[in-house]
Amino acid sequence: MSALLRNATVKDVKNIHAALLEGAGQGVILPRSLSQLYNHSREFVVLEEEDGTFLGCSSLSIIWEDLAEVRSLYVVAEARGRGLGRKLVEACIEEARGLGIIKVFALTYQEAFFRCMGFDVVGKDTLPQKIWADCIHCVKFPDCDEIAMQRTL
């Protein structure tokens, strides 16, 4: 079966939430509340099998006029190894290009994956809008162990 990429709807939020909780339990992604996901559901894309089985998700969050973040990237365990993570990141990058955004970043534990996608490690101090908008409210702040990576488009 081939994976279908599409914009998320509010009906996808519970699947997205379950996937992000699974990833958070594995320590590979930060959790997000249902409330946050409903508020930001228009930022998400999802991948699913032709039969509607949920495979993964990602979102593009606009941070500033020239900066956006790839967030909540997750592929369910049984679908890994099919290039779906790459497909999700590419969708975010194409959306950023379409919006005229020139820099895309991610806070991640998956450095090798993002390097393969053309991202480079940057200091978190280069992302002040992100730090003061979102990170300040995170349970890991100020001792975040995620790696900041950025790609110029």
**27-73 residue pLDDT tens:** 888 888 999 999 999 999 999 999 999 999 999 999 989 999 999 99
Conformation bin of residue 66: beta by default, left when phi > 0, alpha when psi is -120 to 50: alpha
pTM here? Answer: 0.90
In the chain, pLDDT over 90 holds for what percent of residues?
74
**pLDDT at residue 146, rounded to an integer:** 85
Q: Tell me the pLDDT of the chain averaged across its residues.
A: 90
Assigned CATH for 4-152: 3.40.630.30
